Chains A and B, each alone.
Chain A
């Protein structure tokens, strides 16, 4: 039986030695675990650091443009620059506008509104910043840096513009941003899709895939929840079929079979075929995400809408969907991440996306057979990992903010 000596102060847990004894060496097996995993961890981290700082990055420097945009014509690269700046501007406006609305809502509710300081922003977005720094560190001319600075200026400018836009009917602002986003795409797509490649394709397939699949997914989810048996059967059959097969088989279908289903005057480019396959695939997954959102709306909401005599269309569009879609945002971000990672599969059917370009770089005569996968794969990995990691943390933040599952 131990007695507590009250004449001495309690153990100071902020002391690193005490902390280590409590958390690392409390029992013999804990000590063993600490030693084994400590050695393993140090070996891994040191190994990776040594590798990063001792490798010759020539293969990345030479192929940087290929990795970013593939065979996009070099004379037309200004289109990529312009669309990057335009995209940053649109994002800036959206963020600024959203912040303004949140601020107004907070003022109306009498809550103090706190916005993120620079330190918070750095902590939230460091993986994205790491990508930009890593890419710029590999450039050989000043132009990419200038473009990135321009995009940053557009982001900040858009943010302040968004803050002074009238807070009234939001639909016009969002529609305007949608049109602007299409404009960004239009600038890029003056070059035919067959010449697109690299990271550009991954980003394009992700954004276009989710955006085009969303309406289908919404319809499928409503169909699955519908009381009309015909709609329910068709939706369930489609969703379960797509979720039961791997994306690769759909891509094979896209490349080898979709042509047979179309009249012969339509002969889509390979990227279009891949996009069709991705949209067919994502629609089923988005349907499940939306279904989760629909299920999170309490039944009383529908009953109240019925009691008010709203038509089924208005019940859905004014009462159920606004609440359901708001709740699906975190899961949608999750789906976005998963598609971003899945766009690498396009390389299997010969699309020159980022991973495929990095493999092709290793087959170039001057780099062949030198085990330079050790250089290219980590770089490609960084672009995917940092993007996904940042988005998944943002999704978690949103989830806490929206309080999904807490009300």
Chain B
């Protein structure tokens, strides 16, 4: 007969040991997931093989065969070029849209809290109507009610002889490279913009250190204007302004955008701005009342109170959800497919229609949006961390 050494504690049986249980349940869970993935994958490869569809990405080099309006691309260009073109068009919607919707959103959000009854009620009406309407319907309204009733291509409107307006495309005056040094000029302009930004930061620091007026807007814009004009003159006026002119069924010169493009842009900007307005309003209301009262006690004007006391504090709360709205905006640009603006989703849709394999194409499409979304998520996290460092 042996006695157990006193130092060994009573052993927990295997099926009650939490460590083993935890490992076991995770293995089972992963096993179930793996099984589901395996069954789906098995079906996918099986079905593709049976229907004679390749699982490779070789089709990317074959001709796309999609017609894209106003694009310098022929139907015989490879599939990759078309996908890039679609991504570029998505960005063409995103880049002007994001600053616009921010501006409108902030104005309406502040307007809803205005003491002016008319402004407050109209802002509320705008927010409540747009926020509760499907974005696709807003796009249809913009397209069928704002864009399509415009003059036809046969009889364009040319207000001030500067714009050409038809329901097919809208054109505005734009820069035009005429000399050989045009690209040099653009690099100089870019450099000047960076330096102007640095100057604005330097003036802010001077103001913070010494208290003398910063005049940062004056300094930076003045520098930018002087450098740009000087470079333009020195390089021999390589860039001019081209005014659009109707020429038959097309428009020559200027910068043209398709009617469908403007419909999507207007609709989604207005729709997303209504959500941003609500975020801004909520954030302003979340700023303690004492802050406004203190600003009043210091005899700041209404604008100063908003600009220097309330909005900076409100924006700290509002920025992460607003960036989330940017993300929603970019994802919603995929609705342009409904009125035929060739952003990336429509291009992929048409490529599938041309007989290219749907699984790979949809995977690429999702991947493109996912890369963008994850980049924005990382950005939100960075901003959050920075705001928290500033925070009290």
Distance of A385 Cα from B271 Cα, bound (Å) = 13
Distance of A389 Cα from B124 Cα, bound (Å) = 13
Distance in Å from the Cβ of A27 to the closest Cβ of chain B?
9
Given known pairs A33-B118, A371-B144, the reply for A261 and B44 (CB within 8 Å) is yes
A111 within 8 A of B: no
Given known pairs A23-B116, A228-B22, the reply for A345 and B136 (CB within 8 Å) is yes
Q: Is the CB of B136 within 8 A of A344?
A: yes
A296 within 8 A of B: no
Q: Is the CB of B345 within 8 A of A256?
A: no
Q: Which residues from chain A contact B133 at a C-beta distance below 8 Å? A: 341, 381, 384-385, 388
Distance of A263 Cα from B29 Cα, bound (Å) = 24
> Which residues of chain A from 88 to 109 have a CB within 8 Å of any chain B CB?
none
List the A residue with the shortest CB-CB distance to B365: A249
Name A41's contact: one of B118, B337, B348 (CB within 8 Å).
Answer: B118
Distance of A284 Cα from B123 Cα, bound (Å) = 33
| Contact string against A for B residues 346-367, beta-carbon threshold 8 Å, 1 for contact and 0 otherwise | 0011001000001100100110
Q: Is the CB of B362 within 8 A of A345?
A: no
Name A381's contact: one of B48, B137, B374 (CB within 8 Å).
Answer: B137
Q: Is the CB of B137 within 8 A of A246?
A: no
Q: Is the CB of A380 within 8 A of B137?
A: yes
> Which residues of chain A from 318 to 368 have a CB within 8 Å of any chain B CB?
337, 341-342, 344-345, 347-348, 355, 359
From B57-65, B187-195, B201-209, B328-336, give the one contacting chain A: B328-336
Work out how many contacts link A and B, with CB atoms closer than 8 A.
155
Given known pairs A341-B134, A371-B148, the reply for A245 and B118 (CB within 8 Å) is no
Q: Is the CB of B348 within 8 A of A384?
A: no
B26 within 8 A of A: yes
Q: Is the CB of B48 within 8 A of A384?
A: no
Q: Is the CB of B362 within 8 A of A234?
A: no
Q: Is the CB of B48 within 8 A of A373?
A: no
Q: Which residues from chain B contact A38 at a C-beta distance below 8 Å? A: 118
Q: Is the CB of B40 within 8 A of A344?
A: no
Distance of A34 Cα from B118 Cα, bound (Å) = 6
B140 within 8 A of A: yes
Given known pairs A23-B116, A246-B369, A371-B149, the reply for A256 and B362 (CB within 8 Å) is yes
Distance of A359 Cα from B349 Cα, bound (Å) = 20
> Which residues of chain B from 121 to 145 have a CB within 8 Å of any chain A CB?
121-122, 125, 128-129, 131-137, 140-141, 144-145
A259 within 8 A of B: yes
Q: Is the CB of B137 within 8 A of A252?
A: no
| Contact string against B for A residues 148-186, beta-carbon threshold 8 Å, 1 for contact and 0 otherwise | 000000000000000000000000000000000000000
Of B44, B48, B134, most buried by chain A (CB within 10 Å of CB) is B134
Given known pairs A341-B133, A345-B335, the reply for A33 and B365 (CB within 8 Å) is no
| Contact string against B for A residues 8-35, beta-carbon threshold 8 Å, 1 for contact and 0 otherwise | 0000000000000001101000100110
Q: Which residues from chain B contact A249 at a C-beta distance below 8 Å? A: 334, 345, 362, 365-366, 369
A230 within 8 A of B: yes
Q: Is the CB of B373 within 8 A of A37?
A: no
Q: Which residues from chain B contact A240 at a C-beta distance below 8 Å? A: 374, 377
B7 within 8 A of A: no
| Contact string against B for A residues 359-396, beta-carbon threshold 8 Å, 1 for contact and 0 otherwise | 10000000000010110010011001100110010000
Distance of A248 Cα from B334 Cα, bound (Å) = 7
Distance of A245 Cα from B373 Cα, bound (Å) = 8
A204 within 8 A of B: no
Name B337's contact: one of A253, A342, A348, A384 (CB within 8 Å).
Answer: A348
Distance in Å from the Cβ of A128 to the closest Cβ of chain B?
13
Given known pairs A34-B119, A244-B370, A260-B44, the reply for A384 and B137 (CB within 8 Å) is yes
Given known pairs A241-B370, A260-B44, A348-B337, the reply for A373 and B140 (CB within 8 Å) is yes
Distance in Å from the Cβ of B32 to the closest Cβ of chain A?
10
Given known pairs A240-B374, A355-B140, the reply for A384 and B332 (CB within 8 Å) is no
Q: Is the CB of A228 within 8 A of B140?
A: no
Q: Which residues from chain A contact B125 at a C-beta distance below 8 Å? A: 41
Name B115's contact: one of A23, A228, A246, A385 (CB within 8 Å).
Answer: A23
Distance in Å from the Cβ of A336 to the closest Cβ of chain B?
13
Q: Is the CB of B136 within 8 A of A33?
A: no
Task: Give chain B's interface residue range (CB within 8 Å of chain A).
Answer: 35 or more
B304 within 8 A of A: no
Q: Which residues from chain A contact B134 at a C-beta distance below 8 Å? A: 341-342, 344, 355, 384
Q: Which residues from chain B contact A347 at a C-beta distance below 8 Å? A: 136, 338
List the A residue with the shortest CB-CB distance to B336: A248
Q: Which residues from chain A contact B80 at a C-beta distance below 8 Å? A: none
Q: Which residues from chain A contact B135 at a C-beta distance below 8 Å? A: 341
Distance of A371 Cα from B150 Cα, bound (Å) = 12
Distance in Å from the Cβ of B174 to the closest Cβ of chain A?
30
Given known pairs A230-B29, A246-B334, A385-B129, the reply for A259 and B116 (CB within 8 Å) is no
Q: Which residues from chain B contact A253 at a C-beta distance below 8 Å? A: 362, 366
Q: Is the CB of B366 within 8 A of A245?
A: yes
Distance in Å from the Cβ of B88 to the closest Cβ of chain A?
18
Given known pairs A263-B43, A371-B148, the reply for A40 and B122 (CB within 8 Å) is yes
Q: Which residues from chain A contact B43 at a C-beta distance below 8 Å? A: 260-263
Name B335's contact: one of A234, A248, A263, A264 (CB within 8 Å).
Answer: A248
List the B residue with the shortest CB-CB distance to A259: B47
Distance of A388 Cα from B138 Cα, bound (Å) = 15
A46 within 8 A of B: no
Q: Is the CB of A37 within 8 A of B47?
A: no
Q: Which residues from chain A contact B352 at a C-beta distance below 8 Å? A: 252, 256
Q: Which residues from chain B contact A241 at a C-beta distance below 8 Å? A: 366, 370
Q: Is the CB of A245 within 8 A of B40?
A: no
| Contact string against A for B residues 45-70, beta-carbon threshold 8 Å, 1 for contact and 0 otherwise | 00110100000000000000000000
Distance in Å from the Cβ of B82 to the closest Cβ of chain A?
16
Of B135, B348, B358, most buried by chain A (CB within 10 Å of CB) is B358
Q: Is the CB of A260 within 8 A of B359?
A: yes
Cross-chain pairs A/B with CB under 8 angstroms, 21 sampled: A23-B117, A33-B118, A34-B116, A37-B118, A37-B122, A38-B118, A41-B121, A243-B373, A244-B374, A247-B331, A249-B369, A252-B365, A253-B366, A260-B359, A341-B134, A347-B136, A355-B136, A373-B140, A373-B145, A380-B137, A381-B141
Known: A33-B116, A252-B348, A384-B134. 16 other contacts (CB 8 A): A33-B118, A38-B118, A40-B122, A228-B26, A244-B370, A248-B335, A249-B345, A249-B366, A252-B362, A256-B362, A344-B137, A345-B335, A347-B338, A373-B141, A373-B144, A374-B144
